[in-house]
Amino acid sequence: MTATATKIDAGLSRSECESFLVHEARLLDDARFDEWLALFTDKAHYWVPSEPKQQSPLDTVSLMYDDRRLLETRVRRLSSPRIYSQEPRSRTSRIVTNVTEEGANGGETLVRSKFTIVEYRREEQRLFAGTYFHTLVGSGRNIRIAFKRIDLVNCDAPMDGLVVPF
């Protein structure tokens, strides 16, 4: 096996993980939120901490902490033509890079990557950057997200409303 196809504890290969993360970024950039939601397991969690190195979403307030049900609500709101906070709609461009496997256990693969997101709306451009941690399950075309943590570089800075998913 090549270095890019190495598997850790029967987890996903780095190549499989990277392809999946690029696909996820494309769905978000294309505002295909229902398809993005379908990438999550029924018991998935989506977390954006509000403090650097925050250990738990239960210890302090988070910028976002959604279970699958709240993710469904978020996607429904984003899909609504009446969502004022997205009038006009944001345009985004995501770059996902430096994808590494952090380990695998029991059919789950922990993947770490770096990201940059540019959001443009109402003649203003915002830049977000940080580290993604995905816990992925499955294989091939059936990879899904069991957990996604987004560590923003500026998580503890004042921010305007965060509407578009990371």
Mean pLDDT for the stretch of residues 31-47:
96
Spatial CB neighbours of 123, under 8 Å, sequence gap ≥ 6: none
Q: Using alpha carbons, select from 103, 99, 136, 135 the residue that is nearest to residue 115.
A: 99
56-84 in b/e burial notation, b at 16+ Cβ within 10 A? ebeeeebbbbbeeeebeebbeebeeeeee
pLDDT at 159: 87
pLDDT at 121: 82
pLDDT at 85: 64
pLDDT digits (tens, 9 = 90+) for 4-17: 444 445 589 999 99
CA dist 25 and 166 (Å) reads: 9
- Say yes or no to pLDDT of 2 above 50: no
Max alpha carbon distance in the chain (Å)? 51
Q: Which residue has the higher pLDDT, 87 or 119?
A: 119
Average pLDDT of the chain, as a whole number: 89
Q: Give the pair of three-digit tokens for residue 19.
A: 């392809």
pLDDT at 4: 44
pLDDT digits (tens, 9 = 90+) for 78-105: 877 666 666 677 899 999 999 999 999 9
Residue at token pair 């996607």: 75
Mean pLDDT for the stretch of residues 53-77:
93
CATH 3.40.50.11690 fits 3-152, yes or no: no
CA dist 94 and 30 (Å) reads: 10
Q: Which residue has the higher pLDDT, 70 or 139?
A: 70
